[in-house]
Amino acid sequence: MIDIVKILIPAVTSFVIGIIITPALTSFLYSNKMWKKKAGKVGLDGKETEVFNNLHKDKEINTPRMGGIVIWFSALLTVFIIWLVSEIFPTDVTIKLDFLSRNQTWIPVGTLLIGALVGLVDDLFEIKKGNGGLSLKKRLVIVTIVSLLVAFWFFFKLDIVTLGLPFLGEVYIGWLIIPLFVIVTLAIYSGGVIDGIDGLAGGVFGSIFLAYAGIAFYQSQIDLAAFCVAVAGGILAFLWFNIPPARFYMTETGSMALTITLGVVAFMTDSLGGGYGVIVLPMIAFPLVITTGSVLIQVFSKRFRGKKVFLSAPIHHHFEAIGWPSYKVTMRYWVISLVCALLGVIIALVG
């Protein structure tokens, strides 16, 4: 029973903190005009994305960035408060409820903070200089460095040298765990471009982290499960204010924090937890997969065929371009995300 309470309290606490801090954050963001000064974006080929810019020309300005602060601040403050209570009032219950542990949550807490701060810098550059923030190359280098450091920790300190495969068990891959971790993290990070329609990214990431909370709980990684639901609670608080019309956008400070941390959580629920956290990731995070895939298809098609496959990429903007209301795109993504998350959890549990 105490384990169930241990993962419910962080979820509620994080959500409540997010709801409480949002009015003050909103006031700060609007009073300081923390939004893009010019609407529109540039594609990977360096050209303006005409279809996207026409669809969102009235939305990108006058709506603040950095709404992702609600997510990571709520989650991290929840971790700190519950830890502090256990230190000041050390009883059997408070100590049991503390989920800040070296073997399960130090690394994901660290990556959440690092991703949030780097993303925050990118958002500030975007707002103040209006140059698109940190270049994609610089952001990828940062994500690569962070993921390499974590991968080295997994390999050298935790002795993780296997990958869990359903019905096959743990398969030895040795030092290849390092490049695999980097590749997976970069792939997840690329899925952060799903943050493009009001409410879309929040619903998708919420389903993903709740799915991994369930997997971690099944593996008796209770601290990790509590951390995942704390993040989910922060996401739900953000989503409360991000549904149409959005009060603010998640942007890089939220998406970088969540995507890098998701990579860590996936590997921690793999052989370290005696499960299959990595192999089920493409299923659980399928909306991120199709988002990244649609961008790659579009880029290669334009480069080698001289024409587009989608009216606009990522694919959720294609659906907008063919006439779907943004709320329809968002809610159908939520449905798909929930179904995929459930399927991924089923595979992870019965595999």
Q: Could you tell me where the beta strands, DSSP code E, fall in the chain? A: 162-165, 169-172
Rounded CA-CA distance 122/251 in Å is 9
Tell me the pLDDT tens digit for each residue of 99-108.
999 999 999 9
Prediction pTM value? 0.94
For tokens 């959005």, the residue is 246
Straight-line distance from the first to the last Cα atom of the chain, in angstroms, rounded to the nearest whole number? 26
Q: What is the mean pLDDT of residues 194-201?
A: 91
Q: Name the nearest CA neighbour of 227 among 257, 183, 255, 189.
A: 257
Q: For residue 121, what pLDDT band results from cuts at 50, 70 and 90?
A: very high
Q: For residue 49, what pLDDT band results from cuts at 50, 70 and 90?
A: low
Task: Tabulate helix, strand, coil % of the chain (nearest 5).
Answer: 70, 5, 25
Rounded CA-CA distance 216/110 in Å is 18
Rounded CA-CA distance 141/143 in Å is 6
Tell me the pLDDT tens digit for each residue of 150-171.
999 999 999 999 999 988 888 9
63 φψ region: left (φ > 0), alpha (ψ -120 to 50), beta (else): beta
Per-residue pLDDT at 64 exceeds 70: yes
